């Protein structure tokens, strides 16, 4: 019966083909970063990488990732990044035209807000074939533990790709053989190896798959539990089924399992929050506290505006230490930001455009203590050369030759002092910018002797003290939040397979 249901769900997904999430977001120490796929050009665009506090996004400027490996039409995207004390770094993932998972690494030029490509690689060699309507999710764990990336295979199961600095990319296997309602998938990490992956399971339930301390994946569902409470990564699909007779205390509002995007966030009390936009275009939230899932109160449209489409695309970024959350989706045709900060919801807003990029040309820069050049675009040195040429028209031939020789030497000296700017595709950075050793493959990683910059990216970086209570994502006292009707992830079980928070490592 379970096998038949899985086949029907896969056939239904193929028929309806809900497009995978085309937006992703994360927070660095200086502010949020958003990436998304342009539906017209299929380019992967990004908010200005030198934005502080709030993301700034232009629909028309040159903020497009320069990729050597072309993405497929309608590719899903995932991303992660950090601030290395000099600039922001972005690592992004997408699906190629050939159906593989690809990774790109980029350094931000903080003077322009544009990313410069450091490398672009296919990373799914050796993995099962990627489903044509797969979703993508990624987490950044830390310097030694690296990245994890999640995708759907042709059977609809979620698989894991693994990266560390020592081993490069490798395939880790299936995290659960259970069915999924493609394409949405999201992941969050709450410590070294402490990972939760969520995905729509069916028209009533969400599946939550969690990496356990014994290095085993355990899968549960909400609001309806599984028949055997949980399944592992080894449990075959035929043995996994939802217990539809167990009473539940809540249902997922406006949920039909067809959402394009689903999101996860984590607060400083290690409470996990699940976000989605329902088939009524409204934003919804569920939280897991003490291994119990419950619905959380909705906010008014002053804070949670209606999305332009039902089951719309959604990106979630969060900061563990402050419990800040940023959500991004399209409202009234504009990419918009929904913000939870300082324990309260802020009025939503559309993203502002970044300031215009400085004009780039190959003329010699004009010193600030000289008169500005006119609209002709000629530098002061060029104008001086023209003036000299005109004034020497009547001088003897020998004097002209002498001036020409002197001008030529001066030009050669200036060319040496002002080398041309590097283009976006260059992998050579300025002298004061460290080149990461990360190469996307073991061979490239070993080829560089430089230390890969992972500054300030151990997660989480501080331990919540005993005075920390559970910070809810709603400052208003509501019955739904403070007296939730529980649904247990592991009902009637003597111990929990949820991970206890890992010990926190101090910031280096």
Domain of 56, CATH number, reads: 2.120.10.70
Q: What percent of the chain has pLDDT above 70?
A: 66
Kindly report, residue by residue over 284-343, the tens digit of the pLDDT: 999 998 889 999 999 999 999 999 999 999 999 999 999 999 999 999 999 999 999 999
| Whether residue 98 sits in one domain with residue 241 | yes
Kindly report, residue by residue over 90-142, the tens digit of the pLDDT: 999 999 999 999 999 999 999 999 999 999 999 999 999 999 999 999 999 98
Kindly report, residue by residue over 372-415, the tens digit of the pLDDT: 333 333 333 332 232 333 343 444 455 554 444 445 444 433 43
Closest CA to 300 of 478, 482, 53: 478
| Whether residue 398 sits in one domain with residue 285 | no
| Whether residue 377 sits in one domain with residue 304 | no
- Which of 47-61, 148-162, 403-417, 480-494 is predicted with the least confidence, judged by mean pLDDT? 480-494
391 membership: H or E segment, kind and range: helix 380-391
Q: Based on the structure, what is the number of domains in the chain?
A: 2
Kindly report, residue by residue over 180-202, the tens digit of the pLDDT: 999 999 999 986 568 999 999 99
pLDDT of residue 254: 98
Closest CA to 314 of 268, 267, 281: 281
| Whether residue 231 sits in one domain with residue 290 | yes
Structure tokens that stand for 492 in this block: 């009637």
* Mean per-residue pLDDT of the chain: 76
Arithmetic mean of pLDDT, 421-443: 32
Kindly report, residue by residue over 76-104, the tens digit of the pLDDT: 999 999 999 999 999 999 999 999 999 99
| Whether residue 395 sits in one domain with residue 285 | no
pLDDT of residue 20: 62
Residue 393 is classified by DSSP as: G
CB 372, CB 366: distance < 8 Å: yes
Note whether residue 404 is domain-resident: yes
Note whether residue 441 is domain-resident: no
pLDDT of residue 18: 56
Q: Which of 378, 401, 420 represents a domain boundary (last residue)?
A: 420
| Unique residue bearing structure tokens 């010990």 | 503
pLDDT of residue 19: 60
Kindly report, residue by residue over 208-223, the tens digit of the pLDDT: 999 987 889 999 999 9
Helix-helix angle 397-417:380-391, to 10 degrees: 170
Q: Which residue has the higher pLDDT, 430 or 174?
A: 174
Arithmetic mean of pLDDT, 39-49: 96
| Whether residue 410 sits in one domain with residue 333 | no
CB 425, CB 110: distance < 8 Å: no
Kindly report, residue by residue over 228-253, the tens digit of the pLDDT: 888 999 999 999 999 999 999 899 99
Note whether residue 402 is domain-resident: yes
Note whether residue 92 is domain-resident: yes
| Whether residue 399 sits in one domain with residue 346 | no
Q: What percent of the chain has pLDDT above 90?
A: 60
| Residue 402 φ/ψ, nearest 5 degrees | -65, -45
| Whether residue 111 sits in one domain with residue 258 | yes
Rounded Cα–Cα distance for residues 37 and 51 (Å): 19
| Whether residue 252 sits in one domain with residue 368 | no
At residue 74 the predicted structure's pLDDT band, cuts being 50, 70 and 90, is very high
At residue 360 the predicted structure's pLDDT band, cuts being 50, 70 and 90, is low
pLDDT of residue 358: 65
pLDDT of residue 145: 86
Q: Which domain holds residue 391?
A: 364-420
| Whether residue 250 sits in one domain with residue 394 | no
What is the chain's length?
508
Highest mean pLDDT among 259-268, 466-475, 481-490: 259-268
Note whether residue 227 is domain-resident: yes
Residue 319 neighbours by CB distance under 10 Å: 20
| Whether residue 217 sits in one domain with residue 298 | yes
Kindly report, residue by residue over 440-458, the tens digit of the pLDDT: 333 333 333 333 333 333 3
Note whether residue 443 is domain-resident: no
Is 70 exceeded by the pLDDT of residue 72? Answer: yes
pLDDT of residue 230: 84
Note whether residue 454 is domain-resident: no
Rounded Cα–Cα distance for residues 315 and 260 (Å): 10
Tell me: cis bond preceding 211? Omega within 30 of 0 counts.
no
Predicted structure pTM score: 0.71
pLDDT of residue 441: 34
Note whether residue 427 is domain-resident: no
Residue 347 is classified by DSSP as: P
Rounded Cα–Cα distance for residues 398 and 162 (Å): 72
| Whether residue 388 sits in one domain with residue 252 | no
């Amino acid at each position: 019966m379970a096998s038949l249901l899985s086949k029907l769900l896969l056939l239904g997904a193929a028929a309806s083909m809900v497009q995978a999430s085309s937006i992703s977001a994360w927070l660095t120490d200086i502010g949020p970063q958003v990436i998304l796929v342009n539906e017209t050009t299929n380019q992967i665009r990004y908010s200005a990488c030198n934005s502080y506090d709030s993301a700034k996004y232009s629909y028309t400027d040159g903020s497009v990732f320069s990729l050597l490996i072309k993405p497929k039409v309608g590719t899903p995207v995932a991303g992660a990044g950090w601030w290395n004390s000099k600039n922001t770094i972005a690592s992004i993932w997408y699906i190629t035209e050939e159906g593989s998972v690809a990774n790109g690494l980029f350094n931000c030029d903080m003077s322009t807000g544009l990313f410069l490509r450091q490398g672009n690689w296919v990373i799914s060699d050796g993995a099962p074939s990627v489903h044509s309507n797969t979703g993508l999710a990624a987490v950044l764990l830390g310097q030694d533990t690296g990245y994890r990336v999640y995708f759907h295979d042709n059977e609809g199961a979620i698989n894991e790709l693994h990266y560390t600095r020592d081993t490069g990319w490798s395939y880790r296997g299936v995290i659960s053989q259970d069915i999924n309602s493609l394409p949405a998938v999201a992941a969050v990490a709450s410590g070294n190896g402490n990972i939760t992956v969520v995905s729509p399971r069916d028209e009533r339930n969400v599946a939550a798959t969690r990496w356990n301390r014994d290095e085993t994946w355990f899968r549960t569902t909400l609001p309806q539990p599984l028949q055997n409470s949980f399944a592992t990564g080894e449990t075959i699909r035929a043995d996994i089924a939802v217990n539809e007779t167990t009473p539940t205390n809540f249902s997922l509002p406006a949920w039909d399992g067809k959402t394009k995007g689903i999101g996860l966030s984590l607060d400083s009390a290690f409470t996990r929050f699940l976000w989605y936009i329902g088939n009524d275009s409204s934003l919804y939230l569920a939280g897991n506290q003490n291994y119990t899932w419950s619905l959380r109160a909705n906010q008014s449209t002053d804070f949670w505006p209606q999305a332009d489409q039902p089951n719309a695309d959604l990106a979630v970024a969060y900061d563990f230490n402050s419990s800040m959350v940023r959500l991004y989706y399209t409202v009234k045709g504009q990419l918009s930001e929904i913000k939870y900060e300082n324990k309260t919801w802020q009025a939503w807003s559309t993203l502002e455009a970044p300031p215009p990029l400085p004009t780039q040309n190959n003329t010699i820069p004009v010193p600030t203590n000289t008169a500005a050049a006119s609209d002709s675009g000629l530098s002061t040195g060029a104008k001086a050369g023209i003036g000299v040429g005109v004034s020497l028209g009547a001088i003897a031939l020998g004097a002209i030759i002498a001036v020409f020789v002197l001008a030529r030497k001066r030009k050669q000296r200036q060319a040496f002092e002002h080398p041309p700017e590097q283009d976006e595709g260059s992998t050579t950075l300025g002298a004061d910018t460290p080149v990461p050793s990360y190469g996307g493959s073991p061979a490239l990683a070993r080829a560089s002797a430089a230390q890969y910059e992972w500054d300030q990216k151990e997660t989480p970086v501080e331990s919540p003290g005993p005075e920390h209570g559970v910070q809810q994502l709603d400052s208003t006292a509501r019955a739904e939040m403070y007296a939730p009707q529980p649904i247990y992830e592991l009902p009637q079980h003597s111990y929990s397979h949820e991970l206890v928070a890992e010990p926190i490592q101090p910031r280096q």
